Amino acid sequence: MAGCLVLCAVGITASQIISFLRANAHKQCLATGGPLNCLPVTVADQIRLWEDERKRLTFTEATLYSAFEGEPEFIGVRDFSLREGILLWADSDKKLVIVSDEGHEKVRAWWKANKASM
């Protein structure tokens, strides 16, 4: 798995890995299963799944807000971030808000301007 993830990280696709494994299979494996079946389907599927797993995550610089003094403050920051299009994630139960790094200054300015009214 680690080897496949490293290869995917440098731009090699799952299809390229599978093609390489099939092209360089042992002669006995090729004689038994042929060029397409020398690599078990489950192995090829797993390589594709590892590639898909790597693609589903994206990393973004962000700022986490968690020290809210109450529900109104949390809702205000969350709603402001949503309106501004800088909200990446929020959890109402845990009172967590994550905003894009670019939006951090906007939230700080809004928070300072509106904190007294909350």
**C-alpha 78: how far from chain center:** 21
Please tell me whether the overall predicted TM-score, pTM, comes out greater than 0.85 for this model.
no
What confidence tens digit (pLDDT) does each residue in 46-103 have?
A: 989 988 887 777 788 999 999 888 899 999 999 999 999 999 999 999 999 999 999 9
| Domains of the chain: residue spans and CATH | 2-56 (no CATH), 62-117 (3.30.70.2610)
